[in-house]
Amino acid sequence: MATNLETAKPQKFTPLSSFVESSFFTKLSQLKLDEFKLDASKRTLNGFTIHPTKLNKFNDVPLINLDHESFSGTSQDNANVVLEGLIYNVNTIEEFKLIDKQALLREWGEATHASMFENTSLDYRKFNQFYVLSFSDLKKYKFYYWVAYPTFSSKWTATRQNTAKEEYIRLVESHIASEPYTQMLQLIEGELVSNISKKSSHFVFIDTCLSKDKIPGIQLKNYLFFLGHHGFQEVDVLVYRNDGSSFEVHLQVGEPITNNYKVTGWERTGQGKLGPKLADLGLLIDPTQLAEQAVELNLKLMKWRIAPELDLEIIKNQKVLLLGAGTLGSYVARALMGWGVRQITFVDNGRISYSNPVRQPLFSFNDCFSDNGQGQYKAIRAAEALKEIFPGVKARGVNLEVPMIGHSVTDETKDKSNFDTLSSLFDEHDAVFLLMDSRESRWLPTVLGNAKDKIVLNAALGFDSYLVMRHGNQTQKLGCYYCNDVVAPNDSLSDRTLDQMCTVTRPGGALIASSLAVELFVSILQHEDKQNAEHLSKSKFGEVPHQIRGFLNNFQQHKLFAPSYKYCSACSSQVTQKYQEDGWDFVKKCLNDTSYLEEICGLTKVQEEADLASEDLLKDLEIDDEDEEWLS
């Protein structure tokens, strides 16, 4: 039944809305960090709208949906129709605010206009292009965005509305069921075609919304502009809807359509105002996940300008064993976490004392007496503290006394168990930091690291000096901590005064040494030869020195090199071979008697030869009576 309008009225259209899922922003943030970086080029994007046959009463406005698949290509199916678009993700909030939105929309409109007028096809992809202007604040996980749907203005008036004819509805439904999706079709002699001609002024618009006021979706406006440009003065449009509310409207163009067109299309807010939207995902995402992303953000920013070849994954995947959970251990752990290391194990057998918290940042005053009046175990508490700082770290504390050279075995069951545990920990980890407070406690870990070919880094402190070094291995003959010794390490802990029992150092030395040890570790990982890198060879992240020795009294630092010593008590081939053959039995003999170790590695022979050489020199210097008289 026809409804004659009292007066011709400008045709109204239902505006478009966007629905952007949180997965869209998650994917955008990942691409921004790993791929886009500082490149603000406009990039292709796919969205989708609900297929007209799947609309329900809640779909009262046309929708563009965006999710994580929008960046990789959303596949079209029976429920969705794919739309093509672009995203322009700028680098700063200032640029987002100050950019000329109208000029940008005009640019996008010209691109859409060119696409629409390539030919006479009514292909929906040409008429439904969309654009997204955005800025990603990855520190706060906030996303500012504004969707635009370039729409061309033309003055069409509606003179009457008719109830849609049943035969036309059946024709449209038959077409939808058997043909690929098309939004606008021309009706010519009982057939629906997708290329316009002047043979007919009857068209079908397959609406993507079910507005209650029978106002067609905004997409129709671009089709009408296109028809008017091709000379159509009057058209009859069947607006098809799947809920039985289809209708026909007779439209007349009010004025000629020229190339001097006006473009609109910025999406309005929920309050009907022109302006961007804000997606604050920080309020929705698990804080642990936010922390994970924030930590990775700081690291990935390095790759944008400074170090694009930096391999962060190899750092992240390292399993690191820290022998010592005191001052050095605390600072090394914090620096490792800063570099993205996620698996850290502490080994220590000490308890937290009142002097520790001011120098060891993983502990607090309450840790000094919270375990039945005693201080908590350092290794256990250090691991707990790391998880409190960053829940994403896999931290573990092992309360263990490392068997020390020069300290005899008094309880073999216990010492053997400690040895087995330490050996297993070496097998489970990729790198080991020696951070203990005595020289002899580093001997067994040095032997294990060499025998198992692990990355071993050593940090040691004097009062106003520090040493940071990487150990060599059986392939790369760099010296270890003991290669300059002419005797095996021995007991240095017994019979010591108070100042000797405590680590008396300038407080800043530990921070410097810890930082250098971690930075050296990272440089090793970035080198193609890893722990086999030569002294001062270049990695993707700078030099890889053997030793760094620093002196705070004159603020000097030196990079030194020392080859491995043939008779070293810890890394010589003789020691490694004997350990691999006898295991604990060899270690036990060394703990009980350092002279046995000196015999195995060859230091005893070296000492004997040195004594003989000294005696020979003294003989050569003997002076007879006649010479003595001449010299007087």
Residue 6 has pLDDT above 70, yes or no: no
CA distances from 325 to 184, 329, 340, 379 (A): 72, 4, 19, 6
Q: Is the pLDDT of residue 190 over 50?
A: yes
Answer yes or no: is pLDDT of 284 > 80: no
**Is residue 82 within 8 Å of residue 108, measured between CB atoms?**
no
Please list the alpha-helical segments (H only) found in 527-624.
573-582, 584-592, 594-601, 603-620
Give 100-113 pLDDT, tens digit per residue: 999 999 999 999 99
Question: What average pLDDT does the segment 278-284 reach?
Answer: 83
Fold match, 2-10+154-265 / 17-151+268-283: yes
Q: Which of 429, 437, 433, 462 is nearest to 446 (CA)?
A: 433
| pLDDT exceeds cutoff 50 at 526 | yes
> What CATH architecture is 306-609?
3-Layer(aba) Sandwich (3.40)
Q: Are 512 and 518 in contact (CB under 8 A)?
A: no
Residue matched to tokens 């009225």: 9
Look at residue 624 and tell me whether its pLDDT is greater than 60.
Answer: no
- At residue 627, the pLDDT reads 54
pLDDT value of position 501:
42
Give the start-to-end residue ranges of the domains of the chain.
2-10+154-265, 17-151+268-283, 306-609
Whether the CB-CB separation of 456 and 434 falls below 8 Å is answered with yes
What is the dotted CATH code of the domain comprising 17-151+268-283? Answer: 3.40.140.70
pLDDT digits (tens, 9 = 90+) for 121-162: 999 999 999 999 999 998 888 999 999 999 999 999 999 888
Which DSSP symbol is given to 376? P
Q: 169 or 304: which carries more pLDDT confidence?
A: 169
Q: How far, rounded to the nearest angstrom, does the alpha carbon of residue 203 sit from its chain's CA centroid? A: 52
Question: How far, in Å, CA of 253 to CA of 230, rounded?
Answer: 12
The tokens describing 384, both together, are 């707990």
Question: Looking at 217-226, 325-334, 391-400, 503-512, which range is the least confident one?
Answer: 503-512
Q: Quick one: pLDDT at residue 515?
A: 98
Q: Quick one: pLDDT band at residue 294, thresholds 50, 70, 90?
A: confident
Q: Are strands 431-434 and 455-461 parallel, antiparallel or unpaired?
A: parallel
Give which of 325, 372, 377, 381 is closest to 514, Cα–Cα: 325
Q: Which of 173, 82, 153 is nearest to 123 (CA)?
A: 82
What does the pLDDT look like over 407-438, one tens digit per residue?
A: 999 999 999 999 999 999 999 999 999 999 88
pLDDT at residue 499 greater than cutoff 50: no
In the prediction, which pLDDT does 623 show? 54
What's the pLDDT at 2? Answer: 46
Q: For 35-94, what is each residue's pLDDT tens digit?
A: 999 999 999 999 999 988 888 888 889 999 999 999 987 666 778 899 999 999 999 999
Longest dimension (CA), the chain: 147
- Is residue 486's pLDDT more than 90? no
Element containing residue 457 per DSSP (H, E): strand 455-461
pLDDT of residue 628: 55
Q: What is the pTM of this model?
A: 0.77
What does the pLDDT average to over 175-183?
Answer: 89
User: What integer is the mean pLDDT of 375-390?
Assistant: 96
615 or 374, greater pLDDT: 374
> 80: which residues sit within 8 A by CB, 6+ positions away?
48, 49, 50, 51, 65, 74
What angle (nearest 5°) sits at the alpha carbon of residue 334, between those of residues 342 and 338?
Answer: 60
Residues with active-site annotation: 502
Average pLDDT over residues 388-416: 95
CA nearest to 280, candidates 272, 271, 290, 267: 290
Helix locations, 452-544, DSSP H: 498-501, 507-526
Tell me: pLDDT of 202 over 60: yes
| Beta pairing, strands 184-188 & 156-163 | unpaired
| Spatial CA neighbour of 466 closest among 267, 276, 327 | 327
Binned at pLDDT 50, 70 and 90, residue 544 comes out as very high
Mean pLDDT for 173-179 is 89
Check pLDDT > 80 for residue 270: yes
Q: How far apart are CA 459 and CA 23, in angstroms?
A: 45
CATH 3.40.50.300 fits 2-10+154-265, yes or no: no
User: Which range has the top average pLDDT, 239-248, 446-455, 601-610?
Assistant: 446-455
Q: What is the pLDDT of residues 555-577, one digit of tens each?
A: 999 999 999 999 999 999 999 99
Q: What is the mean pLDDT of residues 310-315?
A: 94
Percent of the chain with pLDDT over 90: 72
pLDDT value for 458: 96
pLDDT at site 409: 95
Q: Looking at the predicted structure, is the pLDDT value of residue 630 above 90?
A: no
Q: Name residues whose C-beta falls within 8 Å of residue 144's C-beta, 6 or more positions apart in sequence.
A: 93, 96, 134, 135, 137, 276, 277, 278
| pLDDT at residue number 494 | 59
Give which of 260, 272, 15, 263 is closest to 151, Cα–Cα.
Answer: 263
Q: Look at residue 178 in the predicted model and tell me its pLDDT.
A: 87
